[in-house]
Amino acid sequence: MKIYEFQKNVLEKVIVEITKFNGSDYLNLRTWFQDAKNVWRPSHKGITLSLDKIGELKIGIDLAFKEYAEQHKEADSDKRARLSP
């Protein structure tokens, strides 16, 4: 079941989905590409986790987002300081 997708670049997109394998559900985050016939196909680039690991993944993504925001806040304030008269 597809949950979300976004364009990674002009050639690829990322699809987040819940998949079933051997009777168990998994979170699948995978890069997809278009083949020669313009059909979207999953690549080998991505990860598959059991659903009980979603909380751990969210913690890691939240921490990465916080770090990204802090770095950009510092970069923005440095830029403003350089531009101030």
Nearest in space to 17 (alpha carbons), one of 47, 55, 52: 47
Where in the sequence is the domain holding 9, given as residue range(s)?
Answer: 2-83
pLDDT digits (tens, 9 = 90+) for 19-41: 999 999 999 999 999 999 999 99
Instruction: Specify the DSSP class assigned to residue 78.
Output: H
Q: Is the pLDDT of residue 85 over 60?
A: no
Give the bridge partners for 33, in sequence order. Answer: 12, 41
CATH of the domain at 53: 2.30.31.10
Q: How many domains does the chain have?
A: 1
Quick one: which of 37, 36, 30 has its CA closest to 12? 30
Instruction: Please name the residues in contact with 8: beta carbons below 8 A apart, sequence gap of 6 or more.
Output: 14, 31
Query: Model pTM?
Result: 0.78
- pLDDT for 76 beyond 80: no
**pLDDT tens digits for 44-71?**
999 999 999 999 999 999 999 999 998 8
